[in-house]
Homo-oligomer: A and B are copies of this chain.
């Protein structure tokens, strides 16, 4: 691939601090490895609202549509708690997902060996954990219409959201899950609530058909989403790839992330369909953690999730698997060296700030 144009949307809170470390890394790759990344920047979230009254401007949306990949930091904070729903910080992220048609959200929940002890779960339950949650990202209750609050009079209002899934949406996301399972332990667990939701009935049906028609070599299980949440807490190592809808994916991937004790460390990739001609997928990479306004500006944020998101970008957008492996290796190495930001600090380890952590990873890369 010739062009490697990245749009950096650092966002709010600790987003810019974490993104700064990725910028250093990109510069180092261009300088020392002869990579040819070009970068542009834009505003998203509260900072975009402050600048021009929308959570992302049309101009920045255009840049995102044109970029080879978008790196996204985090959005939101108490400062914008009272802004209107339509322009709240999250609306910027949701518009990016929707307009770029990023239907496939890949959320690996891996437990870094160096951090296994810091999980709230017993070490034997999480050690070696390596799950991939494949979450549908452009459908379901996030975008279904009607979505509104109606005034019924008499002091009564009605809040409505609509969960909608079409066959093709379920087909394409389960296809992604099955494909990825083949590169892993070949096992997919699909989660829904078919016992109370019609969309869950359809989900179950389409995943089953897709499996039968094209992926019969992959092991497929179905689990109710509530039972799935329980099983994640009880014995997460039973899972390889989990495929689920937008809202269940939101809940379940956060829980899976927390199990690992490594929430400040986990990246995600949001991918579109391959372009018919170029085969390129639109893509956005973002840390699983949020904007953490309480620690922003202090230089103590953990940049690892953002850097690991860039590793996913190397792998999925630029076919640079070797570099991605090396970058992930560098992260593991600095952890083995005992370096820790405050959020993952434990007895006997060396506390470092955001910049030092970034420098150490670049040095090990």
- Chain A residues packing against B (C-beta within 8 Å): 76, 85, 88, 90, 94, 120-122, 125, 141-142, 144, 147-149, 152, 155-168, 193, 195-203, 225-227, 229-230, 233-235, 247-248, 250-251, 254-255, 257-259, 263, 290
- Taken together as a complex, chains A and B put the C-alpha atoms of A179 and B248 apart, in Å, by 30
Contact of A198 among B90, B148, B163, B229 (CB under 8 A): B148
- Taken together as a complex, chains A and B put the C-alpha atoms of A230 and B292 apart, in Å, by 14
Contact of A247 among B156, B193, B202, B234 (CB under 8 A): B193
Do the beta carbons of B149 and A168 come within 8 Å of each other? no
Q: Which residues of B contact A226 (CB under 8 A)?
A: 250-251, 254
Do the beta carbons of A152 and B125 come within 8 Å of each other? no
- Taken together as a complex, chains A and B put the C-alpha atoms of A194 and B94 apart, in Å, by 14
Q: Which residues of B contact A230 (CB under 8 A)?
A: 254-255, 257-258, 263
Q: Can you list 22 contacts pairing A with B, beta carbon distance less than 8 Å?
A: A85-B198, A121-B233, A122-B122, A141-B163, A144-B160, A148-B198, A152-B167, A156-B167, A158-B165, A158-B167, A158-B202, A159-B199, A159-B202, A160-B198, A161-B162, A161-B200, A226-B250, A229-B251, A230-B255, A234-B258, A251-B251, A255-B255
Q: Which residues of B contact A148 (CB under 8 A)?
A: 198
Contact of A163 among B76, B162, B255 (CB under 8 A): B162
Contact of A159 among B198, B233, B255 (CB under 8 A): B198
Do the beta carbons of B259 and A233 come within 8 Å of each other? yes
Q: Which residues of B contact A94 (CB under 8 A)?
A: 196
With A149-B201, A225-B251, A254-B226: A120-B156 Cβ-Cβ less than 8 Å: no
- Taken together as a complex, chains A and B put the C-alpha atoms of A144 and B121 apart, in Å, by 37
Min CB–CB distance A339 → chain B (angstroms): 23
Do the beta carbons of A161 and B163 come within 8 Å of each other? yes
With both beta carbons as reference points, the residue of chain B lying nearest to A124 in the complex is identified as B120
Q: Which residues of B contact A166 (CB under 8 A)?
A: 152, 156-159
Do the beta carbons of B202 and A229 come within 8 Å of each other? no
Do the beta carbons of A229 and B255 come within 8 Å of each other? yes
- Taken together as a complex, chains A and B put the C-alpha atoms of A169 and B112 apart, in Å, by 44
Min CB–CB distance A208 → chain B (angstroms): 12
With both beta carbons as reference points, the residue of chain B lying nearest to A144 in the complex is identified as B160
Q: Which residues of B contact A263 (CB under 8 A)?
A: 230
Min CB–CB distance A119 → chain B (angstroms): 8
With A156-B167, A159-B198: A233-B255 Cβ-Cβ less than 8 Å: yes
Do the beta carbons of B254 and A90 come within 8 Å of each other? no
With both beta carbons as reference points, the residue of chain B lying nearest to A165 in the complex is identified as B159
Do the beta carbons of B254 and A227 come within 8 Å of each other? yes
- Taken together as a complex, chains A and B put the C-alpha atoms of A234 and B144 apart, in Å, by 32
- Taken together as a complex, chains A and B put the C-alpha atoms of A233 and B121 apart, in Å, by 8
With both beta carbons as reference points, the residue of chain B lying nearest to A222 in the complex is identified as B81
- Taken together as a complex, chains A and B put the C-alpha atoms of A200 and B85 apart, in Å, by 11
Contact of A196 among B121, B142, B165, B233 (CB under 8 A): B142
Do the beta carbons of B234 and A200 come within 8 Å of each other? no
